[in-house]
A and B are shown apart, each in its own frame.
Chain A
């Protein structure tokens, strides 16, 4: 996989795993991450076809600068173990584990992943794991799941299955999953990993998508899954800092390095006190804007 990828996941584009046209074009739309789906986007009698197709595409297709992740079928289905056997040797950037509910499941999957990696002489560190929360039990256990292993570097929420599990309607305002979103974000912050929001299913409603993305960014999500290429730019725009935010972050980081050289820990920028958390946030802003904070020294 590409070693020069940008370190951010604003938009994650779902690609149905049994659709060659979409798979081969997946990298051209501008998503930060492509999510090749072997689970819900694939009919039960086409699981073998999708698995082989995705495997071949991972071997040969150019996904350009995108992070490449693969959503596998759950380990307790008849498909999950076969997905792992075919996909793990290809070392995608990440695999996404759907409907994760407890640590025992993770232990089982991690053991299998590591066995496959050992059999192929591969390191245990290259492919990260994204845990997907799609049930009430998963929401309750989210911190234990997020902190299970350093290989887990993102936690995600699946709104459709979660509302089904909660036996509520999935309303446009997503009020029913608000608590779950906040709990998941808090677990991600506590474990310092990414939190990626669920999809916005109405691809015609671009304003609705923008409003929801602004809202989940305020909650603390670091990105959002999308199901149509036309949703990518909106999500990327919302998660990209504005020029004034970037300029302010630049001034803070520059002042931080200048004051650090004089052993001054707390200082002021634009008349406001700056301490360590403010600097951390400013560095994050610059990273999102593709500016390496180290170059400001």
Chain B
């Protein structure tokens, strides 16, 4: 059952388009990010194989990255397979940069 959380935005930077990062492999997390037509709230939908124990921590990791990049008006769908914190933050960061068309040093 996905966990839905609403986070209040601090500033305005909305994803330009849908983007994703990560995989469904064990120890990884798949992040899908897309712009929302709303008043700027971010919506996180998290499902995790370790959600019973770690959902709060995973949400904190995702939120931290969204705040770092001042993301607003985004839906984040996260399918976690037991990723550690550095992996969660890496996948969210990658998805955010891709959604903003700001990823560097890669082929699309």
> Which residues does A use to contact B, with CB under 8 Å?
19-21, 24, 44-49, 51-53, 55-57, 59-61, 78-79, 81-83
Contacts and interface: CB of A to CB of B under 8 A. Distances in A.
B87 A56 contact: yes
Contacts of A57: 86-87
Interface in B9-59: 21-22, 25-28
Contacts, number: 66
Nearest to B102: A48
Given A49-B21, A56-B86, A59-B86, A21 B27 contact: yes
A45 B108 contact: yes
B84 A47 contact: no
Given A56-B86, A79-B106, 9 more contacts: A21-B25, A24-B84, A24-B87, A45-B106, A49-B106, A51-B105, A79-B105, A82-B105, A83-B105
B98 A48 contact: yes
Tell me whether chain B's interface is mostly helix, strand or loop, or mixed. loop
Contact of B106 (A19, A20, A44): A44
B100 interface: no
B79 interface: no
Contacts of A20: 25, 27-28, 83-84, 87, 90
A19 B105 CA distance: 18
Contact of A81 (B22, B89, B90, B105): B105
Contacts of B104: 48, 82
Contacts of A45: 106-108
Contact of A49 (B26, B86, B91): B91
A161 to B, nearest CB: 20
A21 B22 CA distance: 12
21 contacts: A20-B27, A20-B28, A20-B83, A20-B87, A20-B90, A21-B25, A21-B28, A24-B87, A44-B107, A47-B105, A48-B98, A48-B106, A49-B91, A51-B105, A52-B93, A53-B87, A53-B90, A53-B91, A56-B87, A59-B86, A83-B105
Interface string B70-87: 000000000000011111
A45 B21 CA distance: 11
Contacts of A56: 86-87, 89-90
Contacts of A61: 86
A48 B97 contact: yes
A24 B27 contact: yes
B99 interface: no
A43 to B, nearest CB: 9
Given A20-B87, A60-B86, A61-B86, A48 B103 contact: yes
Nearest to A78: B105
Contacts of B98: 48
Contacts of A47: 105-107
Nearest to A55: B90
Contacts of B22: 49
A78 to B, nearest CB: 6
A258 to B, nearest CB: 53
A132 B25 CA distance: 31
A59 B86 CA distance: 8
Among A53, A55, A82, residue most surrounded by chain B Cβ atoms (within 10 Å): A53
Contacts of B21: 49
A61 B83 CA distance: 13
A234 B17 CA distance: 50
A51 B98 CA distance: 14
A52 B94 contact: yes
A56 B85 CA distance: 9
Contacts of B90: 20, 49, 52-53, 55-56
